[in-house]
């Protein structure tokens, strides 16, 4: 949810419509972020704040003392069902609502340690046992937790610690009269089993297998760029009067070469695909699993055992260290604003956090920069064609030095001409003030104004608290009305920047059944961030780079050869393999305010026929159909014709049938799903091109169904047909092709088709390495499969099972 919730948007739009025309005209004619904020923020009334406060209360981000018991009981149900991941998440929610040093938090940690143990997360299990004990776990749980701790230590090979735990258990519990006979017998047998395990591990039985090694070197930046931080020396920063800044290759660049490796200046975890539940009598507590439950709110690391914030139930972190760093950098200010920030949306949250982080960089310098630039931002018309002149430090553009004309520095560069990944670079990202609609600017300005009012209240509270405490505050907050106004203008500028400059931080998440032998994945949006260097990449619908993420770090790699002097290009979303020219042009104009003239758009405009992955075929002769509302066979000897609307309707019917088959598959009804899919396949092949996306989807789902039945030969046959469609649509070196090859490799591996598996693994590695580098999870799995296959004894040739 990038923008505020619908209720607030509707409220503000109605307020806008009721404003006198003179005031609307004043805001519409405002050319600077400063003027927009000045004229809009003064219109925020107390009743507006009351309405927003009511909306914010709908997000349950505080700690509810009744919630831990509810979540613990719900987690216990999941545990009994052997859904240990679900149980872990629910216990975490219980922890998040618990206060420190209470029985509630110790019980939730203890129960979560049991679920983590069942998941094989032994290190995390040990940490949770320590946390449970630190918060005062009840005496009745000590025996269970100590036994669990010993099991973890033995499994991890920490035998000396395990032996000490076993000795402590023997001396502390075996002589206690409080243990029932049955408990005593269980304890004795468990201790015997653990001691046996320790002895086995202490006696070496052979050489452990060597750790898997990668066949590829980790492609770090070959040489750091002296003029652009986080960038390779193989690119340089240039400006162009028509399109502004761009990155140009200074030499020939090979596929897979790492060009940019940058950590986000700021990032905010998205609340998830489903917004938090509003408080209601029917459902007071949320049991759904979102990204906020599974990823660290600071570093975005995946974790099943997060540490919650002590002040709210929303923020969670992968470790105590991450929690403390987040608190010092920004969460001390954000914590009491949790419900408000969720109501105002991710963009507003990013804008606040960016401003908070800016103050940490250099408080004095940034304060001066904010005050100085307020009068200059946008006055120089950043949307004008000559960006060098409009964003130069001198309003007159070129300057004279020692009698010679000196070009102003490139926007975002420091006085030495270096482009750093810092707040100065963030400030110089274009807000496109003139292109945003007046209603949108008014919405953003009032949202920021409301946030500033809360910051003002928080500042007063912070000062009061500081008088009572000798500890300095880690987070700098605005102290004067002028500073608060500067913050408002900065945050409004960032909100306007984000529509064109926000980067969706994505991750691959496994889809389908948890029990599935062949894993599939999809790319999901995890967070929103600002990457000043990555933002220098201009758009192409047929890009020559691929951007991937590990946590908050972005890596841009060449996806194909880039010649010396060519521009390094990235796709902003509308890709030629996913959309037609008209749709791409419309989306780019609406969001990014430019008309795309990349090579793919120029070629697509000249090409009359649509893409083959959307094409219909003649049911009589098989040739492709051509035309507008009425399609005719492309063969001169065939007179067949059909209505486009009729064929589109057939496609929609087929899509519904495929959806039903997927639902059957999720419910374990594989045979029925296959019968339905085979019927869909027959129907699709009668009127759709072989490369049509729906034909490929049907083949892909059939491959999944046969894989679940462990009919590897049929699964591979269908997936190979799907591959042909993926290659035709996305290209042989595309990331989509890499993921499909990864699935095919798993099928061959599970079917013991060794030559086919090794050949497919090699192809998949080659493609995925270009886009992700060697430490991608799928590449690691491919190398594990290859290592396993190479260790197998030679098998007789024949069809795999």
The residues, ordered by sequence, that sit 6+ positions from 7 with a Cβ below 8 Å of its Cβ are 55
- What would the mean pLDDT of 399-409 be, rounded to a whole number? 56
Q: Are 593 and 500 in contact (CB under 8 A)?
A: yes
Q: Which CATH superfamily is domain 66-174+186-196 in?
A: Tetratricopeptide repeat domain (1.25.40.10)
Do 328 and 475 form a contact (C-beta atoms < 8 A)?
Answer: yes
Is the CA virtual torsion 148, 151, 156, 160 positive or negative? positive
**Average pLDDT of the residues in 420-445:** 93
Q: Would you state the structure tokens that stand for residue 290, as one six-digit string?
A: 């979102």
Q: Do residues 557 and 258 touch, judged by C-beta distance below 8 A?
A: yes
Residue 250, pLDDT score: 95
Residue 477 scores a pLDDT above 70? no
480 confidence band (pLDDT: 50, 70, 90)? confident
CB 588 within 8 A of CB 572: yes
User: Do 698 and 677 touch, CB atoms closer than 8 A?
Assistant: yes
Band of pLDDT at residue 175, cut at 50, 70 and 90: low
Of 249, 250, 737, 772, nearest to 557 (Cα)? Answer: 772
Helix (H), strand (E) at residue 525: strand 520-530
Tell me how far apart the alpha carbons of residues 449 and 427 are, in angstroms, rounded to a whole number. Answer: 19
**Residue 84 pLDDT:** 94
| Both structure tokens of 494 | 């960032």
Q: Which of 87, 124, 96, 91 is nearest to 109 (CA)?
A: 91
Residue 281, pLDDT above cutoff 50: no
Q: What is the mean pLDDT of residues 218-232?
A: 80
Residues 726, 737: contact at Cβ < 8 Å?
yes
- Residue 691: what pLDDT? 86
According to the model, what pLDDT value does residue 209 have?
A: 35
Q: What's residue 465's pLDDT?
A: 46
Q: Determine the pLDDT at residue 657.
A: 95
Alpha helix positions (H), 709-795 = 712-730, 735-750, 754-772, 777-790
pLDDT, tens digit, for every residue of 126-156? 999 999 999 988 888 888 888 898 889 888 8
| 314 contacts 62 by C-beta, under 8 angstroms | no
Over residues 526-546, the pLDDT tens digits come to 999 999 999 999 999 999 999
Annotated domain spans of the chain: 66-174+186-196
Report field, pTM of the whole predicted structure over 0.75:
yes
Chain segment 776-791, per-residue pLDDT in tens: 889 999 999 999 998 8
């Amino acid at each position: 949810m990038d923008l505020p919730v619908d209720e607030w948007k509707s409220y503000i739009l109605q307020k806008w419509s009721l404003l006198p025309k003179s005031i609307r005209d004043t805001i519409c004619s405002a050319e600077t972020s400063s003027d927009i904020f000045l004229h809009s923020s003064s219109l925020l009334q107390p009743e507006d704040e009351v309405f927003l406060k009511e909306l914010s209360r709908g997000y349950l981000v505080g700690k509810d003392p009744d919630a831990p018991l509810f979540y613990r009981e719900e987690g216990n149900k999941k545990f009994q069902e052997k859904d240990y991941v679900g149980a872990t998440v629910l216990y975490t929610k219980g922890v998040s609502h618990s206060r420190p040093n209470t029985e509630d938090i110790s019980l939730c940690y203890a129960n979560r340690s049991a679920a983590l143990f069942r998941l094989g997360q032994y290190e995390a299990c040990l940490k949770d046992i320590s946390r449970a004990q630190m918060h005062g776990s009840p005496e009745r749980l000590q025996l269970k937790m100590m036994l669990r701790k010993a099991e973890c230590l033995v499994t991890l090979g920490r035998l000396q610690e395990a032996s000490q735990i076993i000795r402590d258990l023997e001396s502390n519990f075996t002589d206690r009269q409080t243990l029932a006979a049955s408990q005593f017998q269980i304890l004795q047998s468990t201790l015997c089993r653990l001691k046996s395990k320790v002895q086995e591990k202490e006696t070496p039985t052979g050489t452990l297998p060597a750790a898997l090694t990668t066949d590829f070197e980790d492609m770090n930046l070959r040489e750091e760029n002296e003029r652009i931080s986080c960038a390779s020396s193989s690119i340089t920063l240039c400006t162009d009067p028509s399109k502004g800044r761009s990155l140009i290759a200074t030499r020939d660049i090979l596929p897979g070469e790492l060009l940019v490796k940058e950590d986000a200046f700021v990032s905010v975890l998205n609340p998830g695909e489903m917004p938090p539940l509003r408080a209601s009598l029917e459902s007071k507590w949320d049991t759904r699993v979102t990204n906020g439950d599974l990823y660290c709110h600071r570093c975005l690391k995946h974790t099943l055992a997060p540490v919650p914030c002590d002040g709210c139930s929303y923020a969670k972190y992968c470790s105590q260290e991450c929690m403390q760093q987040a608190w010092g950098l920004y969460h001390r200010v954000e914590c009491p604003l949790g419900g408000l920030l969720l109501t105002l949306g991710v963009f507003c949250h990013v804008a606040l956090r960016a401003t908070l982080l800016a103050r940490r960089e250099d408080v004095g310098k940034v304060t001066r920069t904010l005050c100085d630039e307020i009068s200059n931002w946008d006055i120089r018309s950043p949307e004008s064609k000559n960006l060098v002149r409009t964003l130069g430090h001198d309003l007159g553009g070129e300057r004279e030095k020692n009698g010679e004309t000196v070009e102003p520095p490139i926007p975002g560069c420091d006085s030495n001409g270096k482009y750093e990944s810092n707040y100065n670079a963030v400030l110089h990202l274009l807000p496109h003030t003139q292109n945003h609609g007046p209603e949108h600017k008014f919405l953003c300005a009032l949202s920021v104004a409301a946030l500033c009012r809360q910051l003002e209240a928080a500042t007063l509270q912070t000062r009061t608290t500081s008088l009572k405490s000798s500890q300095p505050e880690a987070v700098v907050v605005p102290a004067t009305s002028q500073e608060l106004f500067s913050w408002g203008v900065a945050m409004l500028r960032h909100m306007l920047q984000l529509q064109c400059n926000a980067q969706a931080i994505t991750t691959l998440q496994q889809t389908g059944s948890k029990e599935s032998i062949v894993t599939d994945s999809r790319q999901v949006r995890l967070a929103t961030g600002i990457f000043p260097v990555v933002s220098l990449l201009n758009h192409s619908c047929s890009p020559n780079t691929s951007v991937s993420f590990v946590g908050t770090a972005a890596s841009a790699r060449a996806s194909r050869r880039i010649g010396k002097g060519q521009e390094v290009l990235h796709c902003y979303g509308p890709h030629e393999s996913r959309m037609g020219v008209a749709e791409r042009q419309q989306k780019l104009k609406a969001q990014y305010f430019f008309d795309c003239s990349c090579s793919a758009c120029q070629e697509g405009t000249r090409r009359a026929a649509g893409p083959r992955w959307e094409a219909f075929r003649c049911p009589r002769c098989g040739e492709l159909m051509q035309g507008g509302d009425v399609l005719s066979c492309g063969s001169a000897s065939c007179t067949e014709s059909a209505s486009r609307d009729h064929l589109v309707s057939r496609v929609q019917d087929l899509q519904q049938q495929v959806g039903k088959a997927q639902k059957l598959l999720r419910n374990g009804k594989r045979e029925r799903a296959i019968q339905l899919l085979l019927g869909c396949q027959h129907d699709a092949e009668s009127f759709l091109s072989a490369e049509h996306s729906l034909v490929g989807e049907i083949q892909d789902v059939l491959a999944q169904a046969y894989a679940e039945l462990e009919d590897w030969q049929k699964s591979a046959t269908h997936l190979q047909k799907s591959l042909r469609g993926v290659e035709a649509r996305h290209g042989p070196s595309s990331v989509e092709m890499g993921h499909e090859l990864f699935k095919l490799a798993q099928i061959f591996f599970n079917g013991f088709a060794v030559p086919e598996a090794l050949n497919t693994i090699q192809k998949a590695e080659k493609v995925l390495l270009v886009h992700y580098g060697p430490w991608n999870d799928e590449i690691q799995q491919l190398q594990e499969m290859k290592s396993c296959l190479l260790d197998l004894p030679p098998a007789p040739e024949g069809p795999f099972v």
